[in-house]
Amino acid sequence: MQVLSKMTPVPVTCLEYVHPWTQSCTVATAELMIIGVQYCLRIYAAVYALSLVMRGRIPSLPELKKTLRGWLQSTAFLTTNAFSYSIMMCSLRRLLGSYNFYTASYVPAFFAALISIMVERSSRRALLALYVSNVATETMWNILQSRGLVRSIPHGEIAIFGVANSVLMYCYRKNRQKEYRDSMFDVVRFAIGDSEVMKGDAPSEGVEPSAVQNVVGRAESSQRGSKSPKCSLPFIQAAVQAYLQLTGRLKAMGKHKLCRHRYGCVYDTLSSGGRMFSIGLGIQVVMKAVLQMRKFISRPALLRKTFLSKDIARLGLFLGGFTSIYKMSSCLLRHFTDSDSPMFAFPSGLLASVAFAFYSDNTIALYIMWKTLQITYNWGIEKGYLPRVPGFTVMLYAVSTALLFHAATIEPQNLRPSYWKFLHSISGGRICIMDRSGFDVYGLNTSGQIRTMMNLCKTEPILQGRLS
């Protein structure tokens, strides 16, 4: 079959392509709006309810009103994105008389995204742009790879994570007196603490190693002088005493004068890594318990298989390993150079990124990359190093969303399956029955890709007749 140029018109109408289930553009748009409202209300109800729960207190009446307004506004935003996409495709067909490779989806999706993002609150636009840019980056890579223009590098996601993480850690250490605030810095601070933040040439907190040794020595003397409580299990008592003695010795071990942590370097490294490992393991256990509760009830044997598998510890190994390696390498650099510098974040961050192999994931790596770019860009603007580009966030969202919609329409196998399922749900399955056969002339086997992607989702009964 002859492959046409991307600008070659395809003689199909919006009735044949966009909404073959109805002859009216208005009815098709109204259906998408009704379905979209129902779906978005459910999705954002869970999102905003979770945000209230995470505050850990009973919300006040003004907070409830603000949450309600945000819920409705976010629903309006996402619904607008859904039905305005259909309007734009029909309108462009009437205006231009035909479709081509670009006007089939990318151009109408761009204008639909541009309109819808203006409906959403300005405080949420950066977060939305960051998310769709993350997915769009992966999609663009898949598109280029399918055309043979690039090829995947083994463990490439670890390399991306390592470089982005090093820059992020440098920004965190350079952020003296919390000059720039970002939620990502709170995550980093939770993982490695404030001991790696640069606040002058000398540490402003902590105690001298000699003081630590004196405190630990007094504590051990007190323990030896006091009577140990009687225990019916001598083994447990011995284990506790051994643990206390070990931690006491580790705390008393020396640290560099520029290290800001309270106790010795070895103790700080092991305790921080152990804490993050416990948190990662706890998250995995809770997630498995919640998501697979029905399976556990029907098949109790899965409990042992699930919670004793190696996969259950992957997140914990990543978080614990990352924290331990980063803190230990930073301490070693201070010992060897007898100095401290934000530049230490680069070798320490690269070394710590090796732990990402335990939980390597494209989504996480790309999110860290885009979040680091956002932080450096915003910080550069505040410092006067970079110019502020008006509407950059809005344009980034529109460009990225247009690429995702275009891939879902013309070459869906290059799209992340989770995003395809999202588009399937918000359209009520109608994304599957758009007749794309006219675009097979571009040589991408669009119809065949759609049949493959349809197997990922269950289409609503009212539309099943159109799929045969």
Same domain, 166 and 289: yes
* Whether the predicted model's global pTM rises above the 0.75 cut: yes
* Domain around 38: 1-152+390-457
Q: How many CA atoms lie within 13 A of 328 on its CB side?
A: 15
Tokens encoding 135: 């997915």
Whether 22 is in a domain gets the answer yes
Flag whether pLDDT at 201 surpasses 80.
no
What mean pLDDT comes out for the span 117-123? 92
Among the listed residues 434, 397, 451, the one whose alpha carbon sits nearest the alpha carbon of residue 90: 434
For residues 377 and 110, the answer to whether their CB atoms sit within 8 Å is no
CA dist 178 and 156 (Å) reads: 32
Whether 235 is in a domain gets the answer no
Cβ-proximal residues to 110 (8 Å cutoff; 6+ apart), any chain = 398, 399, 401, 402
Same domain, 138 and 173: no
What mean pLDDT comes out for the span 250-279? 82
Same domain, 55 and 137: yes
Place 235 in a pLDDT band, splitting at 50, 70 and 90: low
Whether 375 is in a domain gets the answer no
- pLDDT for residue 210: 46
Flag whether pLDDT at 154 surpasses 90.
no
Q: For the chain, how many structural domains are there in total?
A: 2
Whether 219 is in a domain gets the answer no
Place 397 in a pLDDT band, splitting at 50, 70 and 90: very high
Place 458 in a pLDDT band, splitting at 50, 70 and 90: low
Place 233 in a pLDDT band, splitting at 50, 70 and 90: low
CA dist 48 and 43 (Å) reads: 9
Same domain, 437 and 335: no
* Percent of residues, the chain, with pLDDT higher than 90: 37
Helices 122-146 and 362-383, packing angle to 10 deg: 130
Whether 203 is in a domain gets the answer no
Same domain, 139 and 186: no
Same domain, 144 and 267: no
Same domain, 14 and 139: yes
Whether 213 is in a domain gets the answer no
What mean pLDDT comes out for the span 1-27? 81
CA 166 to centroid of chain Cα atoms: 18
Cβ-proximal residues to 351 (8 Å cutoff; 6+ apart), any chain = 325, 326, 329
- pLDDT for residue 370: 93
For residue range 305-347, list pLDDT tens digits in order: 777 788 888 999 999 999 999 999 998 998 899 888 889 999 9
